[in-house]
Amino acid sequence: MPTYRVNDRAVKHARKLIDAGDFDDTTEWSDAAPSAADANKEIDDDGFDDFAEWHLGIDPDASEGTKGRFAFPYGDFSKVNRAALIHGKQRAAQNDHAAVEKAADELLQYLDSKR
């Protein structure tokens, strides 16, 4: 199992979106999660750097320029999804990724303070 590190750029990006009011606090993550086609379109349109900004975790052992390098998505490439933060926090906790769990929890609290 990979050991993920926190993607600090993604955390900053999420906070900026939350500050701008670009978040969804009503849609379930299962309904809002981007499809593989959506992810490929994001990469084709904006590149891997922008794709990476939508994921709280980075697998430093995975090859750069691959989708497998990034985990714990928190939005749909346009808005932060509150349910995605909850899902990511729970998944990180279940798999002993404490730093990612903490980052997701802090973003969740930050979003809730802005609601």
Question: The dihedral of CA 63, 91, 24, 27: what is its sign?
Answer: positive
| Each residue's pLDDT tens digit, 10-22 | 999 999 999 999 9
| Each residue's pLDDT tens digit, 81-115 | 999 999 999 999 999 999 999 999 999 999 999 99
Rg (CA), the chain: 13
Query: What average pLDDT is seen over the chain?
Result: 96
pLDDT, residue 26, reads 97
The model's pTM: 0.95
pLDDT, residue 25, reads 96
Q: Collapsing DSSP states into helix, strand and coil, what is residue 72?
A: strand
